[in-house]
């Protein structure tokens, strides 16, 4: 069941966009984004993440962990309590001092799913820890240089005559981070899929998760 659903995502050229739209929907201010702006917002965020990956990686390979070390980013591992499925946190980047905290249990749960028999055929050999660290490298890069256009879009949350209050759509940064990971590792599938697999790891029924994704994406 899960294998089929994952295979469908992997072979769907629109999957990255669908996953990004799904991620956008989870943002508290997503409802303020005009329907006609959603796809554009998602496309801009993805393009920004991919461009930055190409620029930062600049043809070099080698583990991201070493990259983070050279950049002065400390990696700490946290055994923490089991993360709630709604949070989808494998790691978090904080600064100063630049630090990546890896949540070992969340990571292990995701690794278990990714290593499920049959999924490897669709996903290939995946180093989950490396992908998560790459995601956090993105947050580090934009914390230390200005965020490229598309990564921190804003939307009006209140408008009273000439007075406007705007809020940042934080989901865009996560969508850009996923595109950064996909491009950095030249994955043949969208890294945003890891968010869904994390929900699966926390026992959410795959059919429900994937159905929600498809329904949301096709209603745009």
Rule CB under 5 A: which residues touch Zn ion?
Answer: 174, 177
Residue closer to Zn ion (CB basis): 5 or 177: 177
By CB atoms closer than 10 A (0-12, 13-18, 19+), residue 199 is buried
Q: Are 210 and 30 in contact (CB under 8 A)?
A: no
Smallest gap from residue 22 Cβ to Zn ion (A):
15
Smallest gap from residue 34 Cβ to Zn ion (A):
25
For the residues of 103-171, what is the DSSP string, one character each? EHHHHHHHHHHHTSTTHHHHH-S--HHHHHHHHHHHHHHHHHSPPPTTSS-EEEEEEETTEEEEEE-TH
Residue closer to Zn ion (CB basis): 27 or 174: 174
Residue closer to Zn ion (CB basis): 47 or 214: 47
Q: Are 102 and 132 in contact (CB under 8 A)?
A: yes
Residue closer to Zn ion (CB basis): 2 or 42: 42
Q: What are phi and psi of 30, to 5 degrees?
A: -55, -35
Smallest gap from residue 194 Cβ to Zn ion (A):
11
Smallest gap from residue 67 Cβ to Zn ion (A):
17
Name residues whose C-beta falls within 8 Å of residue 111's C-beta, 6 or more positions apart in sequence.
128, 129
Residue closer to Zn ion (CB basis): 49 or 206: 49
Smallest gap from residue 19 Cβ to Zn ion (A):
14
């Amino acid at each position: 069941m899960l294998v089929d659903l994952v295979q469908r995502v992997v072979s769907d050229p629109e999957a990255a966009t669908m996953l990004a739209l799904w991620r956008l929907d989870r943002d508290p201010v997503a409802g303020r984004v005009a329907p006609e702006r959603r796809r554009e917002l998602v496309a801009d965020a993805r393009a920004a993440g991919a461009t930055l990956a190409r620029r930062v990686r600049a043809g070099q390979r080698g583990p991201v962990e070493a990259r983070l070390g050279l950049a002065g980013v400390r990696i700490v591992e946290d055994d923490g309590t089991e993360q709630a499925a709604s949070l989808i946190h494998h790691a978090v980047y904080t600064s100063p001092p630049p630090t990546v905290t890896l949540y070992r249990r969340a990571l292990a749960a995701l690794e278990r799913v990714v290593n499920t028999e049959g999924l490897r055929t669709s996903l290939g050999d995946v180093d989950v820890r490396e992908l998560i660290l790459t995601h956090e490298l993105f947050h580090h890069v934009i914390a230390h240089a200005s965020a490229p256009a598309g990564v921190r879009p804003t939307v009006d949350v209140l408008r009273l005559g000439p007075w406007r209050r705007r809020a940042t759509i934080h989901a865009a940064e996560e969508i850009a981070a996923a595109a950064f990971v996909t491009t950095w590792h030249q994955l043949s599938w969208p890294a945003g899929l890891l968010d869904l697999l994390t929900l699966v790891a926390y026992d959410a029924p795959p059919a429900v998760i994937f159905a929600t994704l498809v329904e949301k994406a096709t209603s745009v």
